[in-house]
């Protein structure tokens, strides 16, 4: 009555057209690509392992922290291994010696997840610096616990510190999924490739965009709706955008960028500079600059 068999047949035809157009292999088997839902669960477990008494289960007692962390990490890293294998094996499918490539992908996945697990203490240290920066930088924050539990910028940075490590280790698809989970929850869009130093604070956060090749120093503060984006994209002879290439800003240590500002291109914002709200900036500025819409001034040349 509802015509479901016909819909199923048309959807099958649509899938086959897409797979043919994309040169996808037609195979019988399980899932070929990582699962967004599985990664969301992994990130939730990692959050608990990193901050057990704040982001772990409500019934957890401090004397049982290590047992909880050990159990949670076993589960999280085991599932992460499944997802890493999916990404690496998917990339290996087109290899000339496919069986060898798949075996190498499996071995690499184990080494990658082991390396990721060993990175977690360092990730925790970076996140501690981010939490402290938010607490010290916001007069409305009453405690570091409030910052960790409530601030969307910290939620985004937990995801980013995890995603960036996955990106560094060679799983860009997994990293992007982890980043987009935070984007959907917080409205803060940080590409996992962005390199961000310790003590990073995003105040309020909604609408912040940080591009893939952005590099941010220590103790930097951004406010809502700040964009660190690309000014232009290189294209090939056929007009297609070329992938890769450094195209986003570099922010040195102790920079502050206020709400609504846009900084575009591979420009450098010198140490200790302040960029005012709603400024549109497409050139480098020296250390100690103070840029506003109405009165651009600087401690050195190059500001217009």
> How large is the average pLDDT for residues 197-223?
97
pLDDT digits (tens, 9 = 90+) for 7-18: 999 999 999 998
Residue 179 sits in the same domain as residue 212: no
> How large is the average pLDDT for residues 260-275?
98
Residues 6+ apart with CB under 8 A from 18: 24
The residue to which tokens 């969307």 are assigned: 152
Residue 212 sits in the same domain as residue 274: yes
Residue 50 sits in the same domain as residue 152: yes
How far is 226 from 190, CA to CA, in rounded Å?
A: 11
Looking at the structure of the chain, the number of domains it has is: 2
Residue 183 sits in the same domain as residue 150: yes
Q: Which domain holds residue 46?
A: 31-187
- Percent of the chain past pLDDT 70, that is, above it, reads 94
Among 9-13, 217-221, 296-300, the range scoring the smallest mean pLDDT is 296-300
- Percent of the chain past pLDDT 90, that is, above it, reads 81
Residue 304 confidence (pLDDT) above 60: no
Residue 40 sits in the same domain as residue 145: yes
If DSSP codes are grouped into helix, strand and coil, which group holds residue 229?
Answer: strand
Secondary structure E strands in 121-254: 189-190, 195-196, 201-202, 209-210, 215-216, 221-222, 227-229, 250-251
pLDDT digits (tens, 9 = 90+) for 155-190: 999 999 999 999 999 999 999 999 999 999 999 999
> How large is the average pLDDT for residues 251-258?
98
Choosing from 187, 221, 236, the residue where a domain stops is 187
| pLDDT at residue number 241 | 74
The answer to whether residues 205 and 188 touch, using CB atoms and an 8 Å cutoff, is: yes
Q: Give me the CATH number covering residue 45.
A: 1.10.3130.10
Residue 46 sits in the same domain as residue 155: yes
| Residue 62 falls inside a structural domain | yes
CA distances from 238 to 116, 235, 247 (A): 40, 8, 21
Residue 75 sits in the same domain as residue 167: yes
| pLDDT at residue number 302 | 40
Residue 115 sits in the same domain as residue 37: yes
| Residue 95 falls inside a structural domain | yes
| Residue 96 falls inside a structural domain | yes
User: Please, which pLDDT band fits residue 303 given cuts at 50, 70 and 90?
Assistant: very low
| Residue 20 falls inside a structural domain | no
Q: Give me the CATH number covering residue 266.
A: 2.160.10.10
How far is 173 from 157, CA to CA, in rounded Å?
A: 18
| Residue 246 falls inside a structural domain | yes
| Residue 42 falls inside a structural domain | yes
Residue 99 sits in the same domain as residue 162: yes
pLDDT digits (tens, 9 = 90+) for 46-103: 999 999 999 999 999 999 999 999 999 999 999 999 999 999 999 887 777 888 999 9
How far is 47 from 62, CA to CA, in rounded Å?
A: 16
CA distances from 25 to 18, 20, 89 (A): 11, 8, 13
Top-confidence residue, 237 or 301: 237
Choosing from 187, 222, 244, the residue where a domain stops is 187
Residue 175 sits in the same domain as residue 233: no
| Residue 212 falls inside a structural domain | yes
Is 179 exposed, middle or buried (CB count within 10 Å of its CB: 0-12, 13-18, 19+)? buried
| pLDDT at residue number 225 | 98
State pTM to two decimals.
0.90
Residue 158 sits in the same domain as residue 41: yes
| Residue 192 falls inside a structural domain | no
Residue 183 sits in the same domain as residue 229: no
């Amino acid at each position: 009555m509802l015509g479901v068999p016909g819909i199923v047949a048309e959807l099958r035809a649509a899938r086959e057209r897409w797979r043919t157009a994309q040169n996808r292999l037609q195979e019988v088997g399980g899932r070929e690509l990582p699962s967004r839902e599985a990664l969301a669960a992994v990130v939730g477990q990692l959050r608990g392992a990193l901050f057990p008494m704040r982001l772990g289960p409500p019934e957890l007692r401090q004397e049982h922290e290590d047992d909880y962390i050990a159990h949670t990490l076993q589960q999280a890293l085991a599932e992460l291994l499944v997802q890493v294998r999916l990404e690496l094996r998917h990339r290996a499918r087109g290899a000339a010696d496919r069986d060898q490539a798949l075996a190498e992908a499996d071995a690499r996945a184990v080494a990658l997840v082991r390396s990721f697990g060993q990175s977690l203490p360092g990730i925790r240290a970076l996140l501690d610096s981010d939490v402290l920066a938010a607490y010290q930088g916001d007069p409305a924050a009453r405690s570091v616990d409030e910052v960790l539990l409530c601030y969307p910028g910290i939620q985004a940075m937990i995801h980013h510190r995890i995603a960036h490590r996955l990106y560094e280790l060679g799983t860009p698809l997994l990293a992007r999924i982890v980043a987009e989970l935070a984007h959907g929850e917080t409205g803060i869009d940080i590409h996992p490739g962005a390199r961000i130093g310790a003590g990073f604070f995003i105040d309020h956060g909604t609408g912040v965009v940080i591009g893939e090749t952005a590099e941010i120093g220590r103790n930097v503060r951004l406010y809502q709706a700040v964009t660190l984006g690309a000014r232009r994209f290189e294209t090939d002879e056929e007009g297609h955008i070329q992938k890769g290439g450094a195209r986003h800003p570099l922010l040195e240590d102790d920079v502050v960028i206020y709400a609504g500002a846009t900084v575009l291109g591979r420009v450098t914002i010198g140490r200790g500079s302040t960029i005012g709200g709603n400024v549109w900036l497409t050139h480098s500025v020296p250390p100690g600059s103070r840029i506003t819409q109405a009165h651009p001034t600087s401690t050195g040349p190059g500001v217009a």
